[in-house]
Amino acid sequence: MKRITGLSRWFNVLLILTTFIAYLSPYISPITFWPVSIFGLAFPILFILNFLFFLYWVFRRQKYFVLSLGCMLLGWGHLNSNFGFGGSNASLEKNEISVVNFNTRILSQVYFHKNKKEKAKQIKHFENWLSEHKTDVFLLQEISNNRIKLIQKVVNFPHLIQPEGKRVAILSRYPVISSGVIEFKSASHLAVWADLKIMKDKIIRFYTLHLKSSHLDRDAIDAVAAGKVREKETWFGIWGLINVYKDHASARVTQSEKILAHIQTSPYPVVVGGDFNEPPTSYVYHQFNSQLKDAFRSAGSGFGSTYAGKIPLMKIDYLFYDPRLRILEHKIERKPFSDHYPVRTRLAW
């Protein structure tokens, strides 16, 4: 029994040290030292393991529970970015706007069904979802022009900003005063912005963005998800994932710096939505959150995961808003339309 306690204690210490490295991830740029950002990716799992150790030591009536408790308390701010404790204001206000941020993945899970009945059912489900809520602005990523035209027809919005050949767009019921593009030399990875005239005396600048994807090897992910960790191919795949992540994490830092510099020039309050491809314990997230407010942290509740793929607990889609605005409501709508969940936010001023 003493040997088990000793091994558990040392494993707990190793876990705590690993978690502390994850806590550093928001403050160290992947360009400077990329390995730290890998630990940041694992934060949700690390936190859960610390909680399990806390319960284990309490059950064993061992004083070592203080180790995991202290570790969790030090990371409470990071937990609040992954798990929401906020509340929403359901009442309507005179000066408010409803925004949906959504990586559609070309709506492949809606329109690409082989079964005609299933396809018709899914299309109806999607169109009902579009119609049942009052939405004022859609911030969309990975959306083709023909798909967004279908959305525009359902919601009957007159204003669409989508650069030719690009897969990022803003769809609005409000008139566009001006707009532009922040290019990253890619059809899918870029930022689009637009100044929308919400009221006679109220203009808000909206950004929709898609930062560089990591293009993870799905075979490696499938192998890890299936528990095939003893196979050589799986470890080659994991090493490949790490190398790709290293390069693309650095690229996302450069892209985010370009967008943030543009945001600082805005004469109007800003709302930024997009697929950032970064977790809350990341340098890129920290840079945006230091200038703007994360809608989920302010009013979200429950698990904040926005990715519906095989990697669990991934939160990579965000809506940030200007401190001059107020948040009323924020929801992650777990709809089966994409490998990302749409995010709906109500803001007021």
Q: What is the tally of structural domains in the chain? A: 2
DSSP bridge partners of 344: 100, 331
Rounded distance between C-alpha atoms, residue 261 and residue 252, angstroms: 14
Q: Using the predicted structure, report yes or no on whether residue 79 has a pLDDT greater than 50.
A: yes
What's the N-to-C CA distance of the chain in angstroms?
A: 61
- Name the band, by pLDDT with cuts 50, 70 and 90, for residue 312: confident
> What CA–CA distance (Å, rounded) separates 297 from 312?
19
Task: Please check whether residue 85 lies inside any domain of the structure.
Answer: no
CATH of the domain at 237: 3.60.10.10
For residue 125, give both structure tokens. 């489900």
Residues 22 and 147 in one domain: no
Residue 303 sits at φ, ψ, to 5 deg, of -65, 135
Question: 192 is written with which tokens?
Answer: 């689009």
* Residues paired with residue 340 on neighbouring β-strands, in sequence order: 307
Q: Are residues 207 and 284 in the same domain?
A: yes
Tokens at 67, concatenated: 């180790």
- pLDDT tens by residue, 10-63: 899 999 999 999 999 999 999 999 999 999 989 999 999 999 999 999 998 888
Query: Are 200 and 338 within one domain?
Result: yes
Q: What is the side-by-side order of every strand in the sheet holding 137-141?
A: 159-161, 168-172, 137-141, 96-103, 343-348, 326-332
Alpha helices in the chain (DSSP H): 2-24, 30-33, 35-41, 43-60, 65-74, 76-82, 108-111, 116-132, 145-155, 218-225, 232-263, 283-291, 295-299
Asked if residue 88 belongs to a domain, the reply is: no
Angle between helices 116-132 and 145-155 (to 10 degrees): 60
The predicted structure's pLDDT at residue 77? 86
Mean pLDDT of 195-215: 94
- Residues 9 and 57 placed together within one structural domain of the fold: yes
> Are 158 and 227 found together in one domain?
yes
Residue 8 lies in domain: 2-74
Helical residues (DSSP H) of 276-349, grouped into ranges: 283-291, 295-299
Considering the domain boundaries, does residue 83 fall inside one?
no
d(CA 93, CA 124): 30
pLDDT over 70 (residue 207): yes
Same domain, 243 and 211: yes
Residue 6 lies in a domain: yes
Using only the alpha carbons of the chain, give its radius of gyration: 22
Q: CB 289: neighbour CB atoms within 10 A?
A: 16
Residue 134 included in any domain: yes
> Residue 342 in contact with residue 334, Cβ under 8 Å?
no
pTM check: above 0.95: no
| pLDDT score of 113 | 81
Helix (H, G, I), strand (E, B) or coil at 341: coil
Kindly indicate the confidence band of residue 328, based on its pLDDT and cuts at 50, 70 and 90: very high
Q: Rounded to whole angstroms, how far apart are CA atoms 286 and 81? A: 11
Is residue 80, in this structure, part of any structural domain at all?
no
Residues 112 and 54 in one domain: no
Domain assignment present for residue 226? The answer is: yes
More confident residue, 86 or 276: 276
- The DSSP call for residue 307 is B
- Whether residue 197 lies inside any domain: the answer is yes
Pairing of β 270-275 and β 293-294: unpaired
Query: Based on the domain organization, do 145 and 47 belong to the same domain?
Result: no
- Is it the case that residue 216 has pLDDT exceeding 60? no
Clarify whether residues 277 and 308 are in a common domain: yes
**Within this chain, do residues 151 and 300 fall inside the same structural domain, yes or no?**
yes
- Is the dihedral angle over the CA atoms 225, 231, 233, 235 positive or is it negative? positive
pLDDT, residue 217, reads 46
Helix axes 232-263, 218-225, angle to 10 degrees: 120
> Is 27 strand, coil or helix?
helix
Question: Which residues make Cβ contacts (< 8 Å) with residue 259, sequence separation at least 6?
Answer: 182, 191, 207, 209, 272
| Beta-strand runs (E) in 122-201 | 137-141, 159-161, 168-172, 176-182, 191-199
